[in-house]
Amino acid sequence: IIYQSKRTRTNSDGTIAGEYADSIEQDLTLFVAAGLGDNAQAVQVLVDRTIDVSATGILKTKVRVKPWDYTDFIESEIGFAVDIAA
């Protein structure tokens, strides 16, 4: 994953910085959409901005895919754990 080796920018409370979360959402949305090709009419990736990433080492995301001929999105939550080396 493209953000695995990058340091996550956070706010003073440990939550992910808004502009960094926006960047992840945009990049991963394009990545998932490219992988799905013409099999979906819409894709969204949302980053949970409420988790203290600094304390937990977890970046939680939600992937939403809207297949053709569906009226609703199919949602899946995905979390990424950061391995902090001593």
Specify the pLDDT at position 86: 45
Give the sign of the dihedral formed by CA 34, CA 3, CA 59, CA 21.
negative
Specify the pLDDT at position 5: 47
Give the sign of the dihedral formed by CA 6, CA 12, CA 61, CA 69.
negative
Specify the pLDDT at position 54: 85
Q: Residue 42 is encoded by which pair of tokens?
A: 């819409």
Report long-range pairs for 27-32 (Cβ below 8 Å, ≥24 apart): 27/2, 27/3, 28/2, 28/61, 28/63, 31/2, 32/63, 32/65
R_g of the chain computed on alpha carbons = 14
pLDDT at 1 over 60: no
pLDDT tens digits, one per residue of 18-74: 999 999 999 999 999 999 999 999 999 999 999 998 888 888 899 999 999 888 999
